[in-house]
């Protein structure tokens, strides 16, 4: 059984944990902040929904660093999509003031400066809008742990409760879908396939986009997902076989 | 916070036709653009489907097809498709398929329509019809050159001075002095007012000096005796460049301007020269001033400069082709004058012929000499051959020295095969037309573009007349000519740095003569023969075809534009070669074409290809019975 099939099986039979619809139903009752209750009340696509019919939204954050415990969000980019069309025309981009220090290292990466963030509002002012965009959709990100953990922490810090939703991770998909080097190849020094966004895109003939701009990265991720699905997957596959 | 469509915007900034738009507009486009990815091999658009977006290729390769399944175009990054459908009931006319993995930017219809309607340059660049862009390109080029857009009217400064044929020269001279003009027009004696009388001649200052004063004729000589017959005039609404062509063709420096048959003025060489600085007329004058073959050969840089200048001044292909043909003809005429001066007068009358592009007045800077001779029927080889051998050798060697290379096919007056008596030529044409043999005809195409340049030039017109009368009644001959004209096809277009063939093959460069202008000239010739046109020039032939309503709707003007575009690309290419000090040729590499040229050329190729198809269709039945 391939790793992809293994994951597929694992996702179809969640053991012990609440399924996503169950979790949403519970949170819609239990969350303290009305915006969160709204978010969950909007629901999540049924796990059996064919991928082609699922409204998706690709997101990307730029952050002050990699650790969600000590770092915070600097910018959010978001592009609604389906596997047929990426609604770049409805893309959104916010710069927000992080609650932790903006290190010089991270400024070099994402190019958002101290004066940019000083002029920006705190995320709490944007959070309603962000969640409005994610509502009812499945969220797509490249290396979804970052977006998942940072948003969870940021929401928790501001509204007392955290947030969780199913995600499609293009990095994980790439790891599962793309053939890994064989043992012999590894022994003879063939490089492990890079799973970085730009490298993954290159494998599908996608153009180079300058990285580390949240909206561009979200678009890049959206395009990558379409390419991955077109290459490796049927559009009729259930959303539950891919989300995590 | 505003969305920042950085990558899309950056892409638009770098690609035609968006480069025509300012950044604010591009920003708006970027904001309205969506994106879709297509795996290699997937159908992007299917025939008849609804379409609501304009498709711009961000990366990858897309093939666009005709409904028949025939390849229409292959596009890569920066290419676009779907506009035909958007402008036609939102139904897809040209299906498209991803040849490689492809990322497409989708610009919604409303945005596309807005761009198309509000930004003229943008609309010009976008291929919406096979012909509209080409037409606009040709029209814009004409706008750019005053010589071509100004009408003769605008040059007339005063009323013409008219005198009757019997007027004494002195009276005419007094009139000229009083009016401050350098010429008078001569009309017939009649009861009507002068202006309504028939114009028969023209007399210039120079004529009075050379034909009256120098020979010592009395001042009361009737002006008729010293006038030049009025062989050429222009209509008031013709373009200045046409007046210039007329002056070149007849080697005259004054032209009467007519309106409804009445002379309303005279334009002189300097009037025209104001419009064209490095005038071909000067080159012609210098050719006739040259005293030796060496002096003639030394004029080559002037010829090249004249060519380059015409190109720089945005002259059209017609003007350049005629100018170069007139210059070529002048070389021949001067060489024949020299030859006759050296060898003595010809023992029997003859006519020296120009063939091919020179006869069609479509000559460029790179050219072979194609010529032949008609000899008087009284020609007797034993007595006369030596003279004509020497004459032909003198002229052909001279032309070679002047940069017109020997014809590799041996079609030159030095070849005894192409020195025939008038009777023999008539017989040859009758044979070609009445008993057409494909292989023979293929090598004889060139004789169906024939012009007399020296001597008994009316013989050349007689032969042209014979061909015009006979050809149209001989479908077998026309079918043979048609088959010959279909031997060379244009390519499909361009893809990346390559020339694209209809079967998907690629090559590095294209010979614009062999694959462009020549097949088109061949095609136009067949049609012209079929309607009995006596015109030589392809544009004039097309005019005859349009007037005779012979071609399918719209094809005449399309072919005219296509010819102009193909010829101009060739011409500009040669001008660039000259500028860079290279030997000019006809071979063009797609990399050296502008984006716009590639697109308009593709349109032109398409028109030629379609015209070839309809030519094939027209003669299909003849072929079946043949």
pLDDT digits (tens, 9 = 90+) for B414-447: 999 999 999 999 999 999 999 988 888 877 889 9
Which residues are B495's β-sheet partners? Answer: B498
- Asked if A36 contacts A128 with a C-beta cutoff of 8 angstroms, the reply is no
Q: How much is the pLDDT for A2? A: 46
Q: How much is the pLDDT for A9? A: 44
**Where is average pLDDT lowest: B204-208, B477-481, B602-606, B621-625?**
B621-625
Compare B27 and B158 and report the one with higher pLDDT.
B27
Average pLDDT, integer, range A202-213? 92
Average pLDDT, integer, range B463-484? 92
**Percent of chain B surpassing pLDDT 90:** 44
Average pLDDT, integer, range B487-506? 79
Cα B223 from Cα B194, distance rounded (Å)? 15
The CATH code of the domain at B155-273 is 3.10.580.10
Of A94, A126, A207, the CB nearest to B103: A207
Q: How much is the pLDDT for B224? A: 92
Compare B3 and A160 and report the one with higher pLDDT.
A160
Residue A182 has pLDDT above 80, yes or no: no
How far B26 CA lies from chain A's nearest CA (Å)? 13
Q: How much is the pLDDT for A1? A: 40
Residue A6 has pLDDT above 60, yes or no: no
- Asked if B240 contacts B151 with a C-beta cutoff of 8 angstroms, the reply is yes
* Residue B501 region by backbone torsions, left for phi larger than 0, else alpha for psi between -120 and 50, else beta: beta
Domain ranges for chain A, please list them: 51-235
Of B35, B42, B59, the CB nearest to A205: B59
Cα A100 from Cα B550, distance rounded (Å)? 81
Q: How much is the pLDDT for A186? A: 63
Q: Is A92's CB within 8 Å of B3's CB?
A: yes
Chain B residues with CB-CB distance to A223 below 8 A: 35, 37, 103
**Where is average pLDDT lowest: A166-170, B255-259, B418-422?**
B255-259
The segment(s) of chain B belonging to CATH 2.60.120.10 are: 6-128
Residue B113, φ and ψ in degrees, nearest 5: -60, -45
Tell me the pLDDT tens digit for each residue of A214-243. Answer: 999 999 999 999 999 999 889 999 999 999
Strand, coil or helix: what is A13? coil
Residue A134 has pLDDT above 70, yes or no: yes
Average pLDDT, integer, range B378-387? 95
Compare B195 and B535 and report the one with higher pLDDT.
B535
Chain B residue set in contact with A, beta carbons under 8 Å: 1-8, 31-39, 42, 58-60, 77, 100-103, 106, 108
**Where is average pLDDT lowest: B92-101, B194-203, B323-332?**
B194-203
Q: How much is the pLDDT for A15? A: 43
Strand, coil or helix: what is B211? helix
Q: How much is the pLDDT for B335? A: 95
ipTM of the complex: 0.90
Q: How much is the pLDDT for A11? A: 47
Give the mutation candidate from A91, A111, A120, A229 for the B interface (greatest B CB count, under 10 A).
Answer: A91
Q: What burial class does residue B457 get, using C-beta atoms within 10 Å of its C-beta: 0-12 exposed, 13-18 middle, 19+ buried?
A: middle
Residue B101 has pLDDT above 90, yes or no: yes
Average pLDDT, integer, range A154-180? 89
Residues 6 or more apart in contact with residue B168 via CB below 8 angstroms: B219, B220, B221, B222, B223
Q: Which chain B residue's Cα is nearest to A227?
A: B37
Provide the pLDDT confidence category of residue B508 given band limits of 50, 70 and 90: confident
Q: Which chain A residue's Cα is nearest to B9?
A: A216
Cα B353 from Cα B395, distance rounded (Å)? 12
Mean of pLDDT over chain A: 87
Helices (H), B182-316: 205-207, 240-250, 269-273, 280-289, 293-297, 300-312
Average pLDDT, integer, range B607-626? 78
- Asked if B147 contacts B313 with a C-beta cutoff of 8 angstroms, the reply is yes
The pair of structure tokens assigned to B381 is 């080889």
Residue B301 has pLDDT above 50, yes or no: yes
How far B31 CA lies from chain A's nearest CA (Å)? 5
Residue B625 has pLDDT above 50, yes or no: no
**Where is average pLDDT lowest: A125-129, A195-199, B189-193, B248-252?**
B248-252
Mean of pLDDT over chain B: 87
Peptide bond into A127 cis (omega under 30): no
Average pLDDT, integer, range A77-92? 96
Residue A3 has pLDDT above 60, yes or no: no
Residue A170 has pLDDT above 50, yes or no: yes
- Asked if B188 contacts B198 with a C-beta cutoff of 8 angstroms, the reply is yes
Beta strands B183-187; B199-204: pairing state: antiparallel
Residue B455, φ and ψ in degrees, nearest 5: 80, -135
Q: How much is the pLDDT for B143? A: 56
**Where is average pLDDT lowest: A175-184, B172-181, B599-608?**
A175-184
Residues 6 or more apart in contact with residue B10 via CB below 8 angstroms: none
The C-alpha angle A216, A222, A226, rounded to 5 degrees, equals: 145
CB atoms within 10 A of CB B620: 11
| The CATH number of domain B6-128 is 3.60.20.10 | no
Sheet holding B102-108, edge to edge: B34-38, B102-108, B53-59, B80-81
DSSP B74: E
How far A29 CA lies from chain B's nearest CA (Å)? 32
Residue B624 has pLDDT above 50, yes or no: no
Q: What burial class does residue B164 get, using C-beta atoms within 10 Å of its C-beta: 0-12 exposed, 13-18 middle, 19+ buried?
A: middle
Helix B555-579 vs helix B132-143: angle between axes, to the nearest 10 degrees? 50
Query: Nearest to residue B51, comparing CAs of B80, B21, B30, B78?
Result: B80
Compare B438 and B325 and report the one with higher pLDDT.
B325
How far B97 CA lies from chain A's nearest CA (Å)? 14
Q: Is A231's CB within 8 Å of B39's CB?
A: yes
Annotation: CATH topology of A51-235: Nucleotidyltransferase; domain 5 (3.30.420)
Average pLDDT, integer, range B323-337? 90
Residue B393 has pLDDT above 90, yes or no: yes
- Asked if A79 contacts A51 with a C-beta cutoff of 8 angstroms, the reply is no
Chain A residues with CB-CB distance to B9 below 8 A: none
The pair of structure tokens assigned to A201 is 């895109």
Q: Which CATH architecture has domain B480-625?
A: Up-down Bundle (1.20)
Residue B364 has pLDDT above 90, yes or no: no
Dihedral of CA atoms B526, B528, B529, B534 in degrees, nearest 10, equals -140
Compare B36 and B118 and report the one with higher pLDDT.
B36
- Asked if A141 contacts A220 with a C-beta cutoff of 8 angstroms, the reply is no
- Asked if B3 contacts B14 with a C-beta cutoff of 8 angstroms, the reply is no
Q: How many CB pairs under 8 A join A and B?
A: 75
Q: Is B106's CB within 8 Å of A206's CB?
A: no
Q: Is B42's CB within 8 Å of A230's CB?
A: yes
| CA atoms B474, B475, B476, B481: torsion sign | positive
Q: Which chain B residue's Cα is nearest to A225?
A: B37
Chain B residues with CB-CB distance to A97 below 8 A: none
DSSP E strand stretches across chain A: 56-63, 73-81, 92-95, 138-141, 167-169
Residue A12 has pLDDT above 60, yes or no: no
Maximal CA-CA distance, chain A:
57
Provide the pLDDT confidence category of residue B137 given band limits of 50, 70 and 90: low
Chain B residues with CB-CB distance to A93 below 8 A: 1-4
How far A83 CA lies from chain B's nearest CA (Å)? 8
Q: Is A216's CB within 8 Å of B33's CB?
A: no
Q: How much is the pLDDT for B283? A: 82
Average pLDDT, integer, range B551-578? 90
Residue B118 has pLDDT above 50, yes or no: yes
**Where is average pLDDT lowest: A149-153, B527-531, B572-576?**
B572-576
Chain A residues with CB-CB distance to B8 below 8 A: 88
Strand, coil or helix: what is B414? coil
**Percent of chain A surpassing pLDDT 70:** 88
Cα B284 from Cα B253, distance rounded (Å)? 12
Average pLDDT, integer, range B517-543? 93
The pair of structure tokens assigned to A85 is 């069309």
Provide the pLDDT confidence category of residue B626 given band limits of 50, 70 and 90: very low
Tell me the pLDDT tens digit for each residue of B139-169. Answer: 666 555 565 667 788 788 788 899 999 999 9
Chain A residues with CB-CB distance to B44 below 8 A: none
């Amino acid at each position: 059984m391939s790793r992809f099939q293994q994951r597929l099986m694992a996702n179809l039979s969640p053991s012990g944990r609440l399924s996503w619809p169950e979790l949403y139903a519970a949170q819609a009752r239990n969350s303290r902040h009305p915006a969160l209750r709204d978010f969950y009340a909007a629901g999540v696509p049924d796990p059996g929904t064919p991928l082609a019919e699922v409204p998706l939204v690709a997101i990307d954050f730029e952050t002050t660093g990699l650790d969600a415990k000590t770092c915070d969000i600097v910018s959010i980019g978001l592009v609604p999509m389906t596997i047929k069309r990426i609604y770049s025309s409805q893309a959104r981009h916010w710069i927000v003031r992080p609650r932790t220090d903006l290190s010089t290292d991270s400024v070099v990466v994402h190019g958002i400066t101290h004066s940019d963030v000083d002029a920006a509002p705190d995320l709490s002012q944007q959070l309603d809008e962000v969640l409005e965009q994610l509502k009812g959709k499945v969220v797509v990100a490249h290396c979804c742990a970052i977006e998942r953990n940072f948003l969870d922490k940021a929401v928790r810090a501001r509204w007392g409760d955290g947030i969780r939703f199913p995600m499609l991770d293009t990095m994980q998909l790439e790891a599962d879908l793309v053939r890994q080097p064989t043992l012999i190849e590894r022994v003879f020094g063939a490089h492990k396939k890079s799973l970085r966004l730009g490298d993954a895109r290159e494998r599908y003939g996608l153009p180079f986009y300058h990285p580390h701009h949240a909206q561009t990265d979200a678009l890049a991720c959206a395009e990558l997902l379409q390419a991955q699905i077109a290459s490796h997957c049927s559009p009729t596959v259930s959303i539950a076989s891919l989300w995590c | 916070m505003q969305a920042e469509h950085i990558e899309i915007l950056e892409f638009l900034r770098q690609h035609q036709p968006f480069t025509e738009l300012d950044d604010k507009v591009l920003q708006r486009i970027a904001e309205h653009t969506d994106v879709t990815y297509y795996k290699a091999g997937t159908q992007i658009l299917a025939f008849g489907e609804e379409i609501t977006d304009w498709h711009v290729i961000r990366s990858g390769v897309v093939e666009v097809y005709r409904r028949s399944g025939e390849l229409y175009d292959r596009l890569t990054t920066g290419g676009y498709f779907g506009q035909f459908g958007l402008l036609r009931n939102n139904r897809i006319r040209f299906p498209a398929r991803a040849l490689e993995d492809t990322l497409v930017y989708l610009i919604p219809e409303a945005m596309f329509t807005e761009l198309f309607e509000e930004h003229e340059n943008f609309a010009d660049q976008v291929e919406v019809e096979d012909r509209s862009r080409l037409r606009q390109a040709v029209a814009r080029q004409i706008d750019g050159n005053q010589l071509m857009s100004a009408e003769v009217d605008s040059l007339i400064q005063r009323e013409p001075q008219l005198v009757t044929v019997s007027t004494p020269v002195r009276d005419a001279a007094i009139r000229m002095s009083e009016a401050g003009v350098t010429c008078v027009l001569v009309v017939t004696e009649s009861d009507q007012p002068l202006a309504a009388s028939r114009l028969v001649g023209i007399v210039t200052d120079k004529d009075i000096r050379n034909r009256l004063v120098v020979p010592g004729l009395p001042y009361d000589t009737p002006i008729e005796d010293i006038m030049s017959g009025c062989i050429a005039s222009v209509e008031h609404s013709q373009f200045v460049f046409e007046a210039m062509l007329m002056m070149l063709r007849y080697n005259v420096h004054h032209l009467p301007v007519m309106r409804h048959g009445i002379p309303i003025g005279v334009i002189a060489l300097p009037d025209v020269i104001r419009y064209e600085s490095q005038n071909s007329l000067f080159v012609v004058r210098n050719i006739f001033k040259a005293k030796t073959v060496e002096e003639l050969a030394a004029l080559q840089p002037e010829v090249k400069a004249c060519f380059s200048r015409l190109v720089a001044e945005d002259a059209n292909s017609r003007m350049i082709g005629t100018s170069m043909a007139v210059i070529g003809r002048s070389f021949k005429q001067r060489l024949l004058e020299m030859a006759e001066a050296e060898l003595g007068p010809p023992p029997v009358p003859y006519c020296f012929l120009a063939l091919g592009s020179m006869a069609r007045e479509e000559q460029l800077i790179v050219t072979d000499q194609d010529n032949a001779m008609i000899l008087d029927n009284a020609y007797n080889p034993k007595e006369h051959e030596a003279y004509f051998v020497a004459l032909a050798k003198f002229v052909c060697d001279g032309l070679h020295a002047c940069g017109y290379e020997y014809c590799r096919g041996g079609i030159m007056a030095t070849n005894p095969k192409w020195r025939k008596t008038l009777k023999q030529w008539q017989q040859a044409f009758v044979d070609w037309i009445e008993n057409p043999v494909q292989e023979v005809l293929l090598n004889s195409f060139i004789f169906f573009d024939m012009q007399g340049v020296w001597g008994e030039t009316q013989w050349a017109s007689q032969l042209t007349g014979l061909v015009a009368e006979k050809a149209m009644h001989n479908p077998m001959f026309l079918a043979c000519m048609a088959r010959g004209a279909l031997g060379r096809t244009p390519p499909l277009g361009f893809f990346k740095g390559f020339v694209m063939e209809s079967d998907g093959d690629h090559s590095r460069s294209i010979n614009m003569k062999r694959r462009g202008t020549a097949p088109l000239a061949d095609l136009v010739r067949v049609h012209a023969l079929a309607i009995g046109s006596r015109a030589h020039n392809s544009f004039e032939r097309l005019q005859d075809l349009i007037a005779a309503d012979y071609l399918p709707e719209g094809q005449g003007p399309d072919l005219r534009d296509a010819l102009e575009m193909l010829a101009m690309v060739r011409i500009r290419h040669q001008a660039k070669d000259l500028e860079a000090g290279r030997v000019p040729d006809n071979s063009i590499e797609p990399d050296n074409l502008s984006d716009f040229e590639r697109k308009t050329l593709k349109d032109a190729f398409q028109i030629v290809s379609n015209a070839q198809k309809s030519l094939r269709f027209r003669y299909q039945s003849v072929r079946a019975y043949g």
